[in-house]
A and B are shown apart, each in its own frame.
Chain A
Amino acid sequence: MNLTLNIWRQKNNVDKGGFREYKVSDISKDMSFLEMLDVLNEQLAEKGEDPVHFDHDCREGICGMCSLYINGKPHGPLQTTTCQLHMRSFKDGETITIEPWRAKAFPVMKDLVVDRSAFDRIIQAGGYVSVNTGGVPDANEIPIPKRIADEAFDAATCIGCGACVAACKNASAMLFTSAKVSQLAMLPQGQVERKERAEKMIAQMDAEGFGACTNTGACEAECPKGISITNIARMNREYFSAVVSSENV
């Protein structure tokens, strides 16, 4: 495959940045999207040019590190992570536009790399549970109905990649935050901090500068893990009931 790549290049987080066009040839359709970028970067390195910076880690679709807004969609045309996207999803001779996630809360650090530590701070604000010290508790000591366990697990499959923020017209982090609130609110272990968690995580989400939700459903449609917006409704319930009943004046 021969491709034209229109890639966002930006030296650092104060540089204005802009698109640059690159040509790559003899790309196998069985390559992953990131391997195709590796080929480009080898070419650039040989020429002594600065390679295109992009985030990646496990390349197995489980770590949430890869990003990229490819041809107008987060993680490209399929509902998967960029590392699991293959070149067979593109046509020979196609021009592919590659942009970083765009959100005030995700500042661009270099080229296609954005700082997603805002997500870490939302987790730090309340995405944890209290655990007693002492001996290791027995597995399955606390009875949890299978349906609840499955639902909590579905929410917990969120890998925090930020595709929801990238897809949302308001750069809202509601899908991410709601998945993290939900996975703990549904389980007995999450009850201790339940109210505090909803209030603190949402306050942090707002403080980071993520937008509000318009219920367009774009996040759910683009999420590589298929996190449902029913989690957003649950988060809203958690939040409203927390603010009216907590002792946090």
Chain B
Amino acid sequence: MSWVSKTLNSTLGRKLMMALTGLFLIIFLLGHVSGNTLLFKNDGGEAFNIYAKFMTTNPAVKILSYLTYISVIAHVVYSIILTKYNKSARPVAYANSKASTNSSWNSRNMGILGTIILIFLAVHLQGFWYKMHWGDMPVVSYGGEQYKDLYTIVNFAFQSELLVALYVVAMGFLGLHLSHGFQSAFQTLGLNHVKYSPAIQKLGLAFSIIVPALFASMPIYIYFINMN
């Protein structure tokens, strides 16, 4: 084995991959949530549709989106490898364990939280991303140029209470996952410092509340504007 594969197969190397892909996905979430706030613009979806076209056709964005796909896959694959490895490290479980007295629930159940987020992701991608790329889409034209009307698809989808509820609940789980994952990634990278760690922890907590809350507010907003 070369030193690279040896490192990536060590416990620390695998954790490094989890941290790097996790941090990249955190940056992705920031971009995703910022762009999607265009849904709140009261223009019949024009700005959102123009943005959606840019996001699916711009070459630089395409490179970033491939990096995002790779990060999601690597994050999932490494988490499966690590979870199996970690489970094998304790073949006989404790009969009586009070883990809740020494660690937070979400830090101990990142795998379960991640699995729920992955299931949500499949539903989410099927509903919008797949349709935008390969599905039958309505078309609108702004200033003579044709755009796929993703806004109408989104607008229609979030008239279902069930889907809105699914999105809101899923964002709750995302928040729990992020509230541990954000600061944990820095710890894994070795970035623990008296000056910066308190700020990283506060930033992580803020990120894990604000970003999922913003995401969750979108289906709720669309649901209510369609009710009137």
> Is B12 touching A171 in the complex (CB atoms < 8 A)?
no
B89 with A172: CB separation less than 8 A = yes
Total interface residues on A, using CB and 8 Å?
47
**Cβ-defined contact, A249 with B3, below 8 A:** yes
In the bound complex, residues from chain A placing their C-beta under 8 Å from that of B180 are: 215
| Contact A243 to B3, CB < 8 A, known contacts A212-B15, A213-B11, A218-B102 | yes
B110 interface residue, CB < 8 Å from A? yes
Q: B95 an interface residue at 8 Å Cβ cutoff?
A: yes
- Kindly state whether residue A209 has any CB partner on chain B within 8 Å: yes
Contact present for B96 and A236 (CB under 8 Å): no
Tell me the complex Cα distance, A72–B98, Å: 5
In chain B, what residue has the closest Cβ to A221? B102
Asked if B82 is at the interface (CB within 8 A of a chain A CB), the reply is: yes
Selecting from B28-36, B57-65, B140-148, B187-195, the interface stretch reads B187-195
Judge whether B88 is part of the interface by a CB distance below 8 angstroms: yes
A103 to chain B, nearest CB (A): 6
The CA-CA distance from A243 to B110 in the complex, in Å, is 28
- State how many residues of chain B have any CB contact under 8 Å with chain A: 40
Number of inter-chain CB pairs below 8 Å: 132
A230, B192: Cβ atoms closer than 8 Å: yes
Contact: A73 with B98, CB < 8 Å?
Answer: yes
**A210 nearest in chain B by CB position:** B89
Within the complex, the shortest CB–CB distance from A106 to chain B, in Å, comes to: 10
User: Chain A contacts of B15 at CB under 8 A?
Assistant: 212-213, 236
Query: Would you give the shortest CB distance from B205 to chain A, in whole angstroms?
Result: 15
Q: How far is the CB of A97 from chain B (nearest CB, A)?
A: 4
A214 to B107, Cβ gap below 8 A?
Answer: yes
- B228 in the interface (beta carbon within 8 A): no
Contact A217 B103 (CB under 8 A): yes
Please tell me if the beta carbons of B98 and A211 are within 8 angstroms of each other in the complex.
no
A180 CB to nearest B CB, Å: 15
A212: B residues at CB distance < 8 A: 11-12, 14-15, 82, 85-86
Contact A69 B190 (CB under 8 A): no
> In the assembled complex, which residues on chain A have CB atoms less than 8 Å from the CB atom of B3?
243, 248-249
Q: Which residues of B contact A (CB under 8 A)?
A: 2-3, 7, 10-12, 14-16, 82, 85-86, 88-99, 101-104, 107-108, 110, 180, 183-184, 187-192
A–B complex contacts, Cβ < 8 Å, 8 sampled: A69-B94, A167-B99, A172-B11, A203-B10, A209-B89, A214-B107, A214-B184, A217-B103
Known: A73-B98, A235-B190. 13 other contacts (CB 8 A): A72-B97, A99-B96, A102-B92, A104-B89, A167-B102, A171-B86, A212-B86, A214-B107, A217-B107, A221-B103, A229-B192, A243-B3, A249-B2
